[in-house]
Amino acid sequence: MCGIYGAIVSNQDAGSVVYHGLKRLEYRGYDSWGVVVTRAGDFFIEKQVGKIDKNHQLSAPPAQVAIGHTRWATHGRVTQVNAHPHLAQNGSFALVQNGVVENYQQLQEKLVSQGYDFISQTDTEVIVALIEQLETRKHETEPSVATVRQVFSQLRGRNTIALVTQSGKIIAIRQGSPLVVGKNKQGDIFISSDVLSLAPDANEYFILDHGQGVIVTCKKIQPFVVKTGKKISLEYQPIKISSTALDTAGFDHFMLKEIYEQTEVLNNVTEQPQKQLTALVTEIKKANRVYTLGAGSASFAAEQLAFWLREQGVLTTALKSYEARSYQNLFSSNDLCIAISQSGETADTNEVVEWLLQFGVKLASIVNMPGSTLTALSDLPFMLQVGPEVGVASTKALSGQMIWSKLLSELIAGKTLLAYQKQVQEYSKQLQNWFESQVIGQLQSLAKELANHKHLFVLGRGQLYMPALEFALKMKEISYIHAEGFSGGELKHGVIALIEQGTPVVCLVAKDKEKNDMLSAAAEVKARGARVIGVSIENNQLFDDWIRLPKASELVAISCFIPAQLLTYYMAVEQAYDPDKPRNLAKSVTVK
Ligand code: F6R
């Protein structure tokens, strides 16, 4: 959450380079943005509330050095004053933060009692004030690295910062949220919150670890350890991502592009190293307890994996990252945890991972974003390989997580990787035909009809229970409709009280042992006036509307996501909402 971009370039275009870098980071937060350039000892700051307009011309003068920030508000409302960068009151530096200073209240109270007059409501200004105070005490004209390190040691929480000084030096420190340093052949230097955003500017990068920092001047890049100040050297890696992976490729939105990409990228998910898969299967079989872990949509994939593993006789517990604390005393060194995350930077998930590792639990993970914290912490790290997912809502990443989860359960059941790869290839073809069929038009018309409804329910059972929860989540986050997902079995225990004449109820139905019970649930809501929207491979007389799914019944749980993604996408477009940047959300949830 929040994105940081910085540049030291030779062509005086730093402001615009940073602005466009922020546009690529906007998925991390888009409440407000700000850019500061420094030139001949002066700072020029532009901050605005709202999203980044790619045609906007920055008012900043030409300069070689700039940093910027795109905000997802934590402390302080979404206002221009609260947008970063924050300029020191003595005018010697400007600073941005990605994260939260957890002890900001204590620090703020002390600063106020010492006479500091806060301008914003942010926790970030506390960092600015502390640096400024120490700098004055040390009679520095601008903050030294030692001063920044000293202040940083007083901060609690996950807080990555970057500041630019009057003389054009950038000092950045990573704690929690990622920080990447890149350079190009012309010697231009960049810092960013992710590798993807660097792709158009840089061709090499290194990632700072937690507790590491970097000083960047026009001549030098010097990484260091924050605690000791010791200089270190970090190895550069080539940036392999093509910058075209970051455009909408003719689609109206990233979300739509990413939905359609599923016909291809799901095959990449099955291209996993056989040896490592075998090692994971061995670990699953020999573990005392198996946990699966994730947050939000990834938690649904984690629950689905647990479901499929239980079906194979492996007792598995699914943990929601934000509700895992009560399990802490149960973790032991003979356990295995499989963590699922698109970004690999979700604070809730990574916090649980840290607990697990303290107890010696073996960690496997499946992550999409290259170079993530979660991957680095894992004993058995797997890459999802569905390509950059820019739309804030998880679409192809979640389907990929499910394809990978199913792979594990199939391997345990004795199927070969090759056989599963063929199955997914066949599925991709069916999906392609499905996208070309009249079902798309049907979803568009249904979206028009449903867009004005206030409430919607989604029912599923067994393997389609998690897809029902995900369907409802997509409705909430993209179409802003109050939607709830339930097990078809839960209905009569209370939920049915909410059904009225015309209430839309989506029923996910598979050809499995749950089918008859699920159809009974559909009949019960229909008898109370609900409009039953069946999502299934075959039609049923109970359905008022039928969304046909691709034939592959073994992968029906994955198929159910796709109409959910399209329906919610079209509903958002219908209401003129931005499906790529739903309100109040951000893609990488790096705060707790
Ligand atoms: C929903 C969505 C979120 C994420 C969740 C975890 O569409 O995208 O619920 O799934 O924030 O994020 P990752 O997968 O990066 O750990």
Q: Specify the residue for token string 């950038």.
A: 170
**AA identity, residue 30:** Y
Q: What single letter denotes the amino acid at residue 589? A: V
| Closest C-alpha residue for ligand 1 atom 9 | 296
80: which 2 tokens?
């221009």
Residue with tokens 């038009």: 441
What are 406's two structure tokens? 């199913």
Helix H or strand E segment including 381 = strand 380-383
CA atoms in the 13 A half-sphere facing the CB of 448: 5
CB atoms within 10 A of CB 265: 21
Mapping DSSP to helix (H, G, I), strand (E, B) and coil, where does residue 573 land? helix
Active site residue 587: yes
Yes or no: say if 540 and 532 are a contact pair by the CB < 8 Å rule. Answer: no
Cβ–Cβ < 8 Å for 489, 524: no
Supply the pLDDT for residue 581: 92
Q: DSSP strand E in 239-331: where?
A: 290-294, 316-320
559 lines ligand 1 (CB under 6 A): no
- Beta-carbon count within 10 A of 247 CB: 11
Give the pair of three-digit tokens for residue 233. 């050297």
Residue 103: per-residue pLDDT: 95
User: 340 alpha carbon to ligand 1 midpoint, in Å?
Assistant: 10
pLDDT at 452: 86
In the prediction, which pLDDT does 172 show? 98
Domains 3-244 and 247-436 in one fold: no
pLDDT of residue 97: 97
Cβ atoms < 10 Å from Cβ of 517: 14
Question: Nearest-CA neighbor of 534 among 557, 504, 562?
Answer: 504
CA-nearest of 115, 131, 160 to 2 is 160
Integer CA distances (angstroms), 114 to 105, 107, 111, 140, in order? 14, 11, 5, 20
- Tokens found for residue 446: 């249904």
**Is CATH 1.20.1250.20 what the domain over 438-583 is classified as, yes or no?**
no
Q: Is 394 in the pocket of ligand 1 (CB under 6 A)?
A: yes
User: Which runs of E-coded beta strand occur in 60-143?
Assistant: 65-71, 86-87, 93-99
Cβ-count burial of 332 within 10 angstroms (0-12 exposed, 13-18 middle, 19+ buried)? exposed
Q: Do residues 27 and 581 touch, judged by C-beta distance below 8 A?
A: yes
Take residue 103 and report the two structure tokens written for it: 């002890």
Ligand 1 atom nearest residue 298's Cα? 10
Q: Is 140 exposed, middle or buried (0-12, 13-18, 19+ CB in 10 A)?
A: middle
Catalytic residue (one of 2, 337, 507, 560): 2
What's the pLDDT score for residue 592? 77
CATH architecture of 3-244: 4-Layer Sandwich (3.60)
Residue ranges of domains in the chain: 3-244, 247-436, 438-583
The answer to whether 426 touches 552, Cβ cutoff 8 Å, is yes
The CATH code belonging to domain 247-436 is: 3.40.50.10490
Considering 362, 422, 587, 592, which one is annotated as catalytic?
587
563: CA distance to ligand 1 center in Å? 19
pLDDT tens figures, 401-446: 999 999 999 999 999 999 999 999 999 999 999 999 999 999 999 9
Q: How many angstroms does the Cα of residue 570 sit away from the middle of ligand 1? A: 21
* 295 Cβ below 6 A of ligand 1: yes
Check: CB of residue 95 under 8 Å from CB of residue 123. Answer: no
Asked if residue 331 lies in contact with residue 356, where contact means CB atoms within 8 angstroms, the answer is yes
> Helices then strands (H, E): number in the chain?
17, 24
Ligand 1 centroid distance, CA of 221 (Å): 33
What is the mean pLDDT of each successive set of 10 residues along the chain, which is 592 residues long?
94 95 90 95 95 88 96 93 97 96 95 95 97 97 98 94 97 94 96 93 95 95 97 93 75 96 96 98 98 98 98 98 95 97 95 96 96 93 95 97 98 98 97 97 97 94 98 96 96 92 97 97 97 98 97 95 97 95 86 77
Q: How far is Cα 294 from Cα 301, in angstroms, rounded to an integer?
A: 8
Q: Is the CB of 368 under 6 A from ligand 1?
A: no
Q: What is the pLDDT of residue 544?
A: 98
CA proximity to 82, closest of 45, 129, 125: 125
The verdict on the CB of residue 192 being under 6 Å from ligand 1 is no
pLDDT attached to residue 29: 85
Q: How many residues does the chain have?
A: 592
Closest CA to 400 of 253, 256, 261, 591: 261
Q: Give the Å distance between the CA of 390 and the centre of ligand 1.
A: 12
Q: What radius of gyration, in Å, describes the C-alpha atoms of the chain? A: 25
Instruction: List, in sequence order, every beta strand (DSSP E) within 280-345.
Output: 290-294, 316-320, 336-341
Pocket test for ligand 1, best of 293, 321, 341, 342 (most atoms within 8 A of CB): 342
Q: Are 87 and 94 in contact (CB under 8 A)?
A: yes
pLDDT at site 55: 85
In angstroms, how far is CA 69 from the centroid of its own chain?
A: 17
Q: Token pair for residue 225?
A: 């350890």
Sheet of 3-8: strand order equals: 42-49, 32-39, 65-71, 3-8, 189-192, 180-183, 204-207, 237-238
pLDDT at 234: 93
- DSSP at 13: B
Read off the DSSP letter of residue 342.
Answer: S
Task: Enter the pTM of the model.
Answer: 0.90
Tokens 């630019």 -> residue:
164
CB of 342 closer than 6 angstroms to any ligand 1 atom: yes
Q: What is the pLDDT of residues 171-197, one digit of tens each?
A: 999 998 899 999 999 999 999 999 989
